[in-house]
Amino acid sequence: MKDVVAQILNLQNRDIALLSVLRKIKAVPADVSAFESEIKKAQAELDGFKSGLSALEASRAEMRAERRAMEAKAEKYSGQLLGMKKREDYDALEAEIAKLRDAAGAIEEKELGILFEIDERRETLSKLETDTEIAIVKLKGDIASAQASLASLDAERVSAEGAFEAARKEVSRPEWVDAYMRLKAAGKPLPLVVRLDKGQCGGCFLKVSADTADRVVSSGEPVFCEHCGKILYIDA
């Protein structure tokens, strides 16, 4: 009885080790796609920053064109001033010139503000480009090593499966293996073999009947918890 319990617990430990390898293998694709979406996010952030800067540069170019058109117009009117015969025409044209120059000056001031911001953003962009590049190189490395780990995880799986099979053959009483494999096939979560402690099942933590507890002690057969169906054992 004591031997078979030790053997079945050993089988269960091998099974837990195998499950852990299988979980690691299963996690790889999720890890890879998480890294891939981080790459996309970093790239999108950089692109967003770049298009913000482009928009600013475009609006600066627009302002400059508008200002230059005003300056050219003011220049042209200045050339016409001397040709003005009437005093009021001269004054009106002069006022128009002053208005144009004022407006051009106001635009120039705004342009300077934008230029300052453009300079700042260009500096930020160059840092952001470097940081993004570094981050993406690192993430690509993470993806590569996650994919490379699949090969060694697969070797681990093969060896864990071998260990499980070996442990299965070591169990001296087939009815214990059968009981274990039935619970495993039914998809019951590990552990499948649980300790009965002071009448309480170590799987569901409910109290089992006195009859069940007695059979665990004396029958030598696998005895199941009447609540959760797991195999019970007691410390020898």
Which stretches of the chain bind Zn ion, using CB under 5 A? 201, 203-204, 225, 227-228
Q: Which is nearer to Zn ion, 56 or 229 (CB)?
A: 229
> Cβ 220 to Zn ion, closest distance in Å?
20
Q: What are the structure tokens assigned to 113, written together?
A: 């503000």
Q: Which is nearer to Zn ion, 183 or 228 (CB)?
A: 228
> Cβ 189 to Zn ion, closest distance in Å?
12
- For residues 83-117, b (16+ Cβ closer than 10 Å) or e, as one string? eeeeeeeeeebeeebeebbeebeebeeebeeeeee
Q: List Cβ<8 Å contacts ≥24 apart for 69-73.
A: 70/100, 70/101, 70/103, 70/104, 70/107, 71/100, 71/101, 71/104, 73/100
> Cβ 223 to Zn ion, closest distance in Å?
11
Q: Which is nearer to Zn ion, 153 or 183 (CB)?
A: 183
Edge-to-edge strand order for the sheet containing 231-233? 200-201, 193-197, 231-233, 223-224
> Cβ 12 to Zn ion, closest distance in Å?
15
Q: Which is nearer to Zn ion, 61 or 206 (CB)?
A: 206
